[in-house]
Amino acid sequence: MSNSNATFQPLKIALIGYGKMGKAIEQIALAQGHTIAFIIDADNSHELTAANLQQCDVAIEFTSPHTAVQNIFSCVDASTPIVSGSTGWLEHWEKVKQYCLDKNGSLLYASNFSIGVNIFFELNKKLAALMHTHPSYQVTVEEIHHTAKKDAPSGTAITLAEQILAAYPDKKNWVNELTTSSSELSIISKRIDPAPGTHVVKYQSSIDDIAIIHTAHSREGFASGALLAARFLVGKKGIFGMKEVLGL
């Protein structure tokens, strides 16, 4: 049996964003034997240059909806593979995707890097496929995060909602509020400290309820998943997600 540690190659990582997630990634990356080549935060964004990026094997980006797109473009321009976990910017997804493909770049995006959440996504799709023929059940998505989270609903909740909409031809869109419209899917967002993230998909009827729940206990799962994604992306060209990383 081969030892996976024998093939371990430490990475030189550019860390773009130094909030709670950035700090968690730094801690785990160093513990795993990787190097943080440089850190970009709001105070030194001018250091996000091609020269700096080209010294790195990969960039990991967790910033804000307002800076994510330009950060991705900067990495693609420098031919540095980028793992992005910023949420709230996906209205620009097609533009970013085309830019990356045109420049032969390497991008891995996920709304959530947790292994558990990505398995949860697969359960959500399966449950929606089973439930859409039972109109007596009303489906809702609820997400709970800490008060410092910059966007609502969470990117994970949007992913869950879009998976449900794909199974429900009569539902046209999601809304970030409680709705009684049969053509809309409710996402309820709550901000409560210190919750790192809970997502609930619930099907309610007058007879019974069915729910699937994912609760994160810390940011460690997200940070470890982002590093797993970074190791996967190095040496590849194209656009990827956690389905490819995890072989789902």
- For residue range 168-217, what is the model confidence (pLDDT) as tens digits? 999 999 999 999 999 999 999 999 998 878 999 999 999 999 999 999 98
Task: Quote the tokens at residue 58.
Answer: 């990969």
Q: Is 145 among the catalytic positions?
A: yes
Q: What is the pLDDT of residue 7?
A: 74
> pLDDT tier at 147 (50, 70, 90 boundaries)?
confident
* One domain for residues 96 and 134: no
**123 and 60 together in one domain:** no
Say what the pTM is. 0.81
- Domain boundaries, position 66: 4-113+220-246
Domain count within the chain: 2
Q: Which of 145, 171, 199, 214 is catalytic?
A: 145
Choosing from 12, 34, 149, 171, the catalytic residue is 149
Residue 57 and residue 156 in one domain: no
Higher-confidence residue: 29 or 219? 29
